Amino acid sequence: MLRGFAALLFFQLLGESLVFLTKVSVPGPVIGLVLLFFALQAGKRFAKASFAGVEGAANALLGNLGLLFVPAGVGVVALWDVVQAQWAAISVVLVVSAVFTLAVTVWTFIAARRLLAQGADSE
């Protein structure tokens, strides 16, 4: 599992480095996650490699996901006066982002269902 955490941290570092060098406006961990995805797919396709360490580390992080929200909650409590002053803007952003996320999720589900149906028809 230690190698899995090292791999996750390596890809996060790689993503942060690419953002720093290219000045792209995407978070480094997101780029690292995309790179990890492609590395896992390439390893599965070409090398027939096993990624049990990465899977174990990811499952351990997901199992303790609730603890990762504690700093965000502390930040909200610490900046409560700012939250009260900006409640309208925060509410609008939350609603718009929730609707956008729901729409993208539905669109992705529909597209995946169509792709899977086409794959089943071609067999």
In this prediction, residue 19 carries a pLDDT of 95
Distance CA 122, CA 120 (A): 6
Q: Which amino acid is at 12?
A: Q
In this prediction, residue 123 carries a pLDDT of 63
Token couple for 46: 């070409």
* Of residues 2 and 52, more confidently modeled: 2
Lowest mean pLDDT among 11-20, 22-31, 41-50, 85-94: 41-50
Q: C-alpha dihedral over 18, 21, 25, 27, to 10 degrees?
A: 40
Are the CB atoms for 33 and 11 separated by under 8 Å?
Answer: yes
| Spans of all domains in the chain | 1-63, 78-123
- 67-121 pLDDT tens trace: 888 998 899 899 999 999 999 999 999 999 999 999 999 999 999 999 888 877 7
In this prediction, residue 122 carries a pLDDT of 67
User: pTM (2 decimals)?
Assistant: 0.61
* Mean pLDDT along residues 20-38: 94
Distance CA 33, CA 8 (A): 8
In this prediction, residue 11 carries a pLDDT of 95
User: DSSP string spanning 51-112?
Assistant: -HHHHHHHHHHHHTGGGGGHHHHHHHHHTHHHHHHTHHHHHHHHHHHHHHHHHHHHHHHHHH
Token couple for 66: 């609730």
